[in-house]
Amino acid sequence: MKTKTVGIIGSGAWGTGLAQALARGGNEVQLYTHSADVAETINREHENTKYLKGFPLSEKVTASCDIAEVADDKDFLFLASPSIYLVQNVKHILNVPSIARGRANIGILTKGFIPPESLCSCGNTDGTSDKNTEAEPKLIVETLESLLPEHFKHNLVYVAGPSHAEEVALGKLTGLITASENPQNAIMFRDFLRVPGLMVYSSFDVIGVQVCAAVKNVIAIVYGMLDAVAEDSEIFGDNAESLLLAAGLNEIQTLGFAMGATHAETFTSISGVGDLDVTCKSKYGRNRRFGHDIIKTDILSKFKNLDDLIANISSIGYLPEGAVACKYVAQIAEKRHLRLKICNGLYKILDREIEPEDFLTDLLIRG
């Protein structure tokens, strides 16, 4: 197979892990990072010591701080920026020739939702929460279609699945889903991503796959809280954790269908139950870790409310995407009159309205 050139916008753990997997398949991969130190360690030491420390990288993986250089004229381009930075980074590549002319094959790795104020540069400036803003948060693909040239509408490919970056980097067996409204593009990305260690399947349920990828991080924070409480509890154990997992999957499915998911099997496949299971249970899970820290280290005491947490999320030292997604899930649920007890409960915990132990007791014992 001919060597392909790949650009990945975002040098976090997932983008770096996938870069290593694609390099293992013989491809030349270039990562974009805003940090000169990250670029230097990748290029000189062949390791991303900030975001994926301890995992050697192929010499076929390089990094650059020039976002246009990484984005332009690649056989495949992946967007892997965290949701809170995605719109800003995409705006910086709109004039890149291959994108402006509609010649790029774009895959999306980012999980979460995009608030409407990210597109209009407006919104609250006083640090307060507002679940009643006029427009509800948008899914990733819908947002990018509104930003990118017209050619990309219905042609973007969303990539998700139970895929912790550490195991992907090591070449351990991992399943992925490529979802697109364009069947040919879904299959093209599926076939390209089938490198050693990756089993990849295609889907046309773009909305369902995105909702699974975003909301499983919310459920994983609650799972981490329960896991921490269970360590010293005579009430909570493995059975309670399975109960939470099943209830969380129901909430993901409820939100997914409300937003336009088309296939029930999306939620019972690797993009649904598979991704939820590994995110909740894996030792690598940052969202699970954050939930654990809520109980064990009282990490929320550093923040006034959820908006303060999001504004200062870098101070945590790792990125729990579910904390950001939680705010937007709560907004969508309120606007659509959805009963999402787990997601809304976490919103209130992160907004410092209720205590986590009280919420878990109410959720799992009182029902």
In 10 A of CB 175, how many CB atoms? 17
CA–CA separation, 203 and 236 (whole Å): 37
Three-state DSSP class for 233?
coil
Amino acid 50 reads K
CB 160 within 8 A of CB 209: yes
Q: What amino acid positions are annotated as catalytic residues?
A: 216
Tokens 């993009």 sit on residue: 271
Exposure of 149 in the CB half-sphere (CA atoms within 13 A): 15
Q: In degrees to the nearest 10, what's the CA dihedral of 55, 140, 348, 255? A: -110
Give one DSSP letter per residue of 90-143, joined into a string: HHTTTTSHHHHTT---EEE---SEE-THHHHT-S--SS---TT-SSPPEEHHHH
Of 161, 114, 158, which is closest to residue 139 (Cα–Cα)? Answer: 114
Which DSSP string corresponds to 261-293?
Answer: ---THHHHSIIIIIHHHHHHH-TT-HHHHHHHH
Q: How far apart are CA 167 and CA 174, in angstroms?
A: 8
Residue from 222, 229, 227, 249 nearest 344 by CA: 222
Give burial (CB, 10 Å; 0-12/13-18/19+) of 172: exposed
Pair of tokens at residue 226: 């329960």
Distance CA 144, CA 121 (A): 16
- Give yes or no for a contact between 168 and 198, defined as CB atoms under 8 angstroms apart: yes
